[in-house]
Amino acid sequence: MEYDVIVVGSGAAGLAAALAAAHDGASVIVLEKSRWLGGTTAMSGAGTWVPGNHHMKAAGIEDSPEETLRYIKGAAPPGWEESERELWQVLAEQSAPMLRFLEDETPLRFELVNHPDPYADLPGGRPFGRMVSTTPLSKFLLGRWWNRVRASVKTQLFTYRELVDGVLKNPVRGALGMAPTLLWRLLTARVGAGNALVVGLVRGCLDKGCRIELEAPVHRLVMDGDAVAGVEATIGGERRTIRAARGVVLATGGFDWNRDLMAKYFPGIDLTGAPDTNTGDGQVMAAEVGAELAHMDQALISPATFTTYEGRRHAQPLLETYAPHVILVNRDAKRFVSEGSPSLGVTIDERGPDGRHLHLPAWRIFDARYAKAMTLSMHFGSKEKGFIRKADTLEALAVKIGLDPAALRATVDRFNGWSKEGVDRDFHRGETVWERFYTKNRALGTVERAPFYAAPFLYVSLGTKGGPRTDRYCRVLRPDGSVIGGLYCAGIAMASPIGTKSVGAGTTIGPCLTFGYVAGRAIAKRNV
């Protein structure tokens, strides 16, 4: 069995690579280890960061690769420019053509989302325009594949734009206001968010003649000398060698369910939001043939609560730390960050020279007003006995969670003072474009109305971002910088040039699509 291109994985990066390669005339097979299409993408909200996109231009919003690059550089961790600038340039230059390509070659349609860059205050940042959202699509577009799109822990009836613009702010009112629309979507199998993105990508791939195989795990890469020439995989219960005339694209997702890798790079992780098929297959296979792995300590670290998915405890993203009447405290009962900061995940993951986390365990401390307003948070938290602690006084609450009562009282009193003054002089909560967007200038609110509550701030990865280093064509590199012939990598299986400190909402889907698109175009042209 031989194809021009083998793509391993069916998330955003893999499907974009398959679509681009097939569009350029390559024969393509997509191998997905699970029985479901879409990977982590299908479970996501599918907010897609695409700088310079054509919808921005149509709305009269100026952007350019130069401004994008300026912004990414300003937001990047210290020391990243030397190793990542080439890939930043790819994102700045190729994201917009990628989006146009998807709308031209698939049923996908995108719309602008009222959402700022996380660091919109930085030079090159934008308060609006770079975030786009898929519009709903019917799963019936997939024919016999319609019921093979991976389900999510969150409803996929809404688009990312609908969630951001209303549903997450007021779930009950938002859902009721859309009741007729939602009923129609149920009747016609229309889905939004990550499911819609997967439906559109799969439809495009099928229309281009791509073969898709489910329950087809790849066991190893097949070498011809020092170049990758194919894979060994199980298809239809039979172990086979599949040759790749032009190359293999690894788009297998993160390593969130690889116990050894997680213990090494993310010790103490509480939960993950990725499917349990994300076991680091691409990272492991690439390393076996000599690839350099990088950024293995980077991930989408996010505020979250928990739910159940496929019989396991699973992360449910939670964006309610920005609300009034709640603070975050560390094991010393002290605040350590602005609760609404886009760098919250980075701060939570900070570690000392000994590898010990500086701020964990951490707690959300809130009062009766927050508990009444944050219905989703309280709903999910109540599912596990003892997860949310309650007491009539802050001192009694501190005892229940093992904190110093005097220290917690001092921290809350200090925050309450800043709240009454209207300025958080410790962490400047609510002062950035990002925080003002979420709080609507109501970032500060005292924590003083009994009863008082505490909930653990879970240490959660929604997707790791480490893997093999690649060049601007997504070709996998050895430690000496040489290219491993025939091997490409895209998505969160690669060493992401955008690490834990995200420059867009999550900064996963947009770069995944872009690097998948780049890999597919590059591999299709190989040896042609």
CB 209 within 8 A of CB 202: no
Instruction: Report whether 197 contacts 108 (CB < 8 A).
Output: yes
- Residue 377 — very low, low, confident or very high, per pLDDT cuts 50/70/90? confident
For residue 99, CA distances in Å to 48, 104, 149, 297 come to 10, 9, 22, 29
Greater model confidence, 377 or 72: 72
Rg from Cα positions in the chain: 23
| 363: β partners | 329, 456
In angstroms, the CA 235 to CA 227 distance is: 23
In this structure, of 61-75, 225-239, 513-527, the range with the lowest mean pLDDT score is 513-527
| Three-state secondary-structure class, residue 54 | helix
Q: Give the pairing type, strands 475-477 and 271-272.
A: unpaired
* pLDDT surpassing 70 at residue 527: no
Q: In a 3-state reduction of DSSP, which class is residue 8?
A: strand
pTM above threshold 0.85: yes
Taking residues 370-374, report their average pLDDT.
86
Q: State how far the Cα of 404 lies from the Cα of 113, in Å rounded to an integer.
A: 44
The answer to whether residues 140 and 114 touch, using CB atoms and an 8 Å cutoff, is no
Between the alpha carbon of residue 494 and those of residues 82, 227, 299, 477, the distances in Å are 17, 18, 12, 11
Concatenating the DSSP letter of every residue in 348-367 gives HT-B-TTS-BSS-SEEEEE-
Q: What is the mean pLDDT of residues 9-36?
A: 97
Least confident of 131-135, 312-316, 471-475: 312-316
Helices (H) and strands (E) in the chain, counts: 18, 24
**Residue 278 Cα distances to 217, 239, 282, 336, 513, angstroms:** 12, 21, 9, 32, 18
Residue 528 confidence (pLDDT): 47
Q: Which domains does the chain have, with CATH numbers?
A: 2-218+465-524 (3.50.50.60), 305-461 (3.90.700.10)
Dist. CA 148–CA 134, nearest whole Å: 19
Strand arrangement of the beta sheet that strand 48-49 belongs to = 48-49, 131-134, 110-112
The continuous run of DSSP H or E covering 111 comes out as strand 110-112
pLDDT of 383 over the 50 cut = yes
State the average pLDDT over residues 299-317.
Answer: 86
CB burial class (10 A; 0-12, 13-18, 19+) of residue 4?
A: buried
Contact criterion met (CB below 8 Å) for 198 and 38: yes
Whole-number pLDDT of residue 505? 81
Report the percentage of the chain scoring pLDDT > 70.
97
pLDDT of residue 170: 62
Type of residue found at 471: D
Average pLDDT of the chain is 93
Task: Indicate the Cα dihedral angle 148, 154, 159, 160, nearest 10°.
Answer: -120
Using a pLDDT cut of 90, give the percent of the chain over it.
80
Cα gap 65→97, rounded to integer Å: 12
Work out the average pLDDT over 508-519.
97
Least confident window among 190-199, 307-316, 482-491, 508-517: 307-316
> Residue 167: what pLDDT?
62
* pLDDT for residue 172: 61
The CA distance from 192 to 504, in Å, is 20
Reply yes or no on whether the pLDDT at 176 is more than 80: no
Mean pLDDT, rounded, for 421-436: 94
- Count CA atoms within 13 Å of residue 27 on its CB side: 8
Backbone dihedral region of 270: left (phi > 0), alpha (psi from -120 to 50 degrees) or beta? Answer: alpha
Element housing 412 (H / E): helix 405-421
Query: What region does 430 belong to: left with phi over 0, alpha with psi -120 to 50, or beta?
Result: left
